[in-house]
Chains A and B, each alone.
Chain A
Amino acid sequence: MIRLENMFPQAFLVGVTKMVDKDGTLETIHWLQEIGEELAALEGPGFEGAREDSINYLPICPFGSEITEFNEIYGHPAEFDDIVKKVYEMKKASDKPWEYPALTHALGVLQHSYSTKRAELAGAELYSLGSKSPKGDFKQFNEEALEKVGISKETVGQMLDRAFYVYKIVYPDKE
């Protein structure tokens, strides 16, 4: 149900699909990344969510209810899948695949750029090890990131049973 008062999240999601149609998938990804980085600069250094030693995780899914509600109204737009697919292509072609998010939804691009930028401001690197879809029906892992930080897929999979995003915080200076 849309009311003017709560239209904004839905408008943003429609905007993402329109942006893909108008300017292409890659441009939309860059646009989402820029938004995330700009908001991160405003918020400053930090790591949102729960923490167990150097593991940072989000027990609730950011934008989860908005995405679910959007999908209930619009179905699942192909443009969202295009974004996810494109990010995986970019990851595959990259020589630093561990820097990419374990993605289950297009808005993960926004969240990843925001979170990694805030970590960078704190002098840290943040590796996206795994994520769970907003409805919790499937999981994704970044195998290269798992290998780089030496954590098993099983361990992260177990964490994802009680979380939506699992990250590893690494301070290069302290390594």
Chain B
Amino acid sequence: MNRIEAEKLYENSVRILKNNQHENGGFYASPPGTRYPFIYPRDHSIAILGCVSAGLMDEARKGLEFILSSQKPLGEFSQRYDVDGNDASYKDLQIDGNGLVLFVLGKYFQATGGSFFKEMADTAFIEKYWETIEKAVSFILLNKNEEVDLIHTINSIHEYPAYEHGFEIYANCACCAGIYAAVSMGKVLGKDVSEWEEQADIIKESILTRLYSPRRRSFIKCIRVKDKNSKPIGYDPFASTVLDIDAAEYAPAYFELIKDSDVKMITTAKRIHKHLWDKEIGGLNRYPEYWGRNNGGYGPWCHFTCELANHYIETDDQDQAEMYLDWVVDMAHNYTLPEHISTIERFELWLEDYTNAKILRDSKVKLIDDVRSHPKWKDGLAYVTIPLIWPHAEFVISYKKYSDKFH
């Protein structure tokens, strides 16, 4: 690995995290004037995780204050917020946001001392927001189906209901890990969290059995079910399974429900790499091309590439970890990362497909202009949405892990 370049990317990624936090605490998904100038709890949570990893604890705390204060009355953290913390959603439920907020709050608490160094831990912060934590857990459990013991959602990490509406793996892992984080924090505060712990154990068991295919030796993406209260779910109009590979199937290890060395995770990661590593330009695609929603052209995503690099770091596969992180370093433009990268050919193919199908939204006009005017276009590459903050946070996390382990 080119360590000098990697270090520069790390430093700039930290800078980008700091520079894209609004004074109210929210991390933009992409800077003002670009494609996503809002605060998306999913992206925001990962930015906080990046801050915790980089030791930016004040920024992490401020980010948590922002999101915890923006909770909706029923306990939900919705799709996106404006800088004042007002709900600005235009999409349906994405319950992984609830899990993520709790998960990163737990990480922040742990980093300040957690249950181990109680005198240092930011217990006052957790105490202050305990009611918010309770409501967030309640909202997750409100969406639990008692027949399969899984959490129902409409959208998840890709905001793509066609493949995520139902009991989806990323959402379930995030929520389960979020409840476990709430349990840990509650125990430190002396709260009775036994019921939550029991529920988290039940959900985890269900993830490891119902969302895992022993014959495929892989986690699966989703059990499609339209209504969370369908009973029996076999009669639900959507009842089916999504068995395709998705980078999000790494979620059980990402959210620390199982270890990377668990055979379930090792075989799933192999399947992810086999089917999603881009044969033409490297990097990890998020899902199969034929799922058909490839805005800006099909191609690898920087943050999913970083996420899976974690797996190889954790399993001591330095060569593979370097291949993943090297790709991210190589593709950075001026030490800045895009959402994803495509080729001119694939970009034009996407444009043709969407134009013919008449599903090209007006809002994509700017995306198209930005891609074509980016300097990398002349190298034959389509850089879509640059910078996106999320991959910088993921690079901070995975590169730090890599450095700590191998150097």
A50 CA to B79 CA in the complex, in Å? Answer: 12
**Interface status of B74 (Cβ within 8 A of chain A):** yes
**Interface status of B237 (Cβ within 8 A of chain A):** yes
Q: Is the CB of A47 within 8 A of B73?
A: no
Q: Is the CB of A43 within 8 A of B86?
A: no
The smallest C-beta distance from A41 to any residue of chain B, in angstroms, reads 7
Q: Which stretch (B87-95, B105-113, B126-134, B204-212) binds chain A?
A: B87-95
Q: Is the CB of A46 within 8 A of B73?
A: no
A171 CA to B326 CA in the complex, in Å? Answer: 48
A43: chain B residues within 8 A (beta carbon): 72-74, 87
The smallest C-beta distance from B178 to any residue of chain A, in angstroms, reads 20
Q: Is the CB of A44 within 8 A of B88?
A: no
Q: Is the CB of A45 within 8 A of B363?
A: no
Known: A41-B73, A59-B361. A46 touches B89 (CB 8 A): yes
**Interface status of B84 (Cβ within 8 A of chain A):** yes
Q: Is the CB of B363 within 8 A of A47?
A: no
Q: Is the CB of A162 within 8 A of B86?
A: no
Q: Interface size (A, Cβ < 8 Å)?
A: 17
Least CB separation from B37: chain A residue:
A51
A15 CA to B74 CA in the complex, in Å? Answer: 28
A154: chain B residues within 8 A (beta carbon): none
**Interface status of A48 (Cβ within 8 A of chain B):** yes
Q: What is the 8 Å Cβ interface bit string for chain A, positions 85-114, against chain B (1 contact, 0 not)?
A: 000000000000000000000000000000
**Interface status of A149 (Cβ within 8 A of chain B):** no
Q: Which 8 A-B pairs give the minimum distances between C-beta atoms?
A: A46-B87, A122-B86, A44-B72, A44-B73, A46-B86, A162-B362, A45-B86, A49-B90
**Interface status of B82 (Cβ within 8 A of chain A):** yes
A46 CA to B80 CA in the complex, in Å? Answer: 10
**Interface status of A72 (Cβ within 8 A of chain B):** no
Q: What is the 8 Å Cβ interface bit string for chain A, positions 33-76, against chain B (1 contact, 0 not)?
A: 00000000111111111110000000100000000000000000
A50: chain B residues within 8 A (beta carbon): 90, 363
Q: What is the 8 Å Cβ interface bit string for chain A, positions 1-27, against chain B (1 contact, 0 not)?
A: 000010000000000000000000000
List, sorted by A's number, 20 A–B pairs whose CB atoms are closer than 8 Å: A5-B237, A41-B73, A43-B87, A44-B73, A45-B86, A45-B87, A46-B72, A46-B81, A46-B86, A46-B89, A47-B87, A47-B88, A48-B89, A50-B90, A51-B38, A51-B82, A51-B88, A59-B362, A122-B84, A122-B86
Q: Is the CB of A42 within 8 A of B90?
A: no
The smallest C-beta distance from B309 to any residue of chain A, in angstroms, reads 35
B89: chain A residues within 8 A (beta carbon): 46, 48
A59: chain B residues within 8 A (beta carbon): 361-362
A49: chain B residues within 8 A (beta carbon): 90
A60 CA to B130 CA in the complex, in Å? Answer: 38
Q: Is the CB of A42 within 8 A of B73?
A: yes
The smallest C-beta distance from A38 to any residue of chain B, in angstroms, reads 12
Of the listed residues A46, A59, A122, the one surrounded by the most CB atoms of chain B closer than 10 A to its CB is A46
A42: chain B residues within 8 A (beta carbon): 73-74
A45 CA to B85 CA in the complex, in Å? Answer: 9
A20 CA to B276 CA in the complex, in Å? Answer: 57
A48: chain B residues within 8 A (beta carbon): 87-90
B82: chain A residues within 8 A (beta carbon): 47, 51
A122 CA to B363 CA in the complex, in Å? Answer: 26
A158 CA to B283 CA in the complex, in Å? Answer: 41
The smallest C-beta distance from A172 to any residue of chain B, in angstroms, reads 14
Least CB separation from A58: chain B residue:
B90
Least CB separation from A3: chain B residue:
B237
A45: chain B residues within 8 A (beta carbon): 86-87
The smallest C-beta distance from A21 to any residue of chain B, in angstroms, reads 32
In chain A, positions 93-139 with a C-beta closer than 8 Å to chain B are 118, 122, 124
The smallest C-beta distance from B28 to any residue of chain A, in angstroms, reads 13
A48 CA to B72 CA in the complex, in Å? Answer: 13
B363: chain A residues within 8 A (beta carbon): 50
The smallest C-beta distance from A65 to any residue of chain B, in angstroms, reads 15
Given known contacts A45-B87, A46-B72, what 15 new A-B pairs fall within 8 Å (CB)? Answer: A43-B73, A43-B74, A43-B87, A44-B73, A45-B86, A46-B78, A46-B86, A46-B89, A47-B88, A48-B89, A48-B90, A50-B363, A51-B38, A59-B361, A59-B362
In chain B, positions 350-364 with a C-beta closer than 8 Å to chain A are 361-363
B361: chain A residues within 8 A (beta carbon): 59
B72: chain A residues within 8 A (beta carbon): 43-44, 46
A49 CA to B79 CA in the complex, in Å? Answer: 11
The smallest C-beta distance from A73 to any residue of chain B, in angstroms, reads 21
Least CB separation from A41: chain B residue:
B73
In chain B, positions 52-111 with a C-beta closer than 8 Å to chain A are 72-74, 78, 81-82, 84, 86-90
A47 CA to B87 CA in the complex, in Å? Answer: 6
The smallest C-beta distance from A146 to any residue of chain B, in angstroms, reads 22
Least CB separation from A122: chain B residue:
B86
The smallest C-beta distance from A13 to any residue of chain B, in angstroms, reads 21
The smallest C-beta distance from B136 to any residue of chain A, in angstroms, reads 14
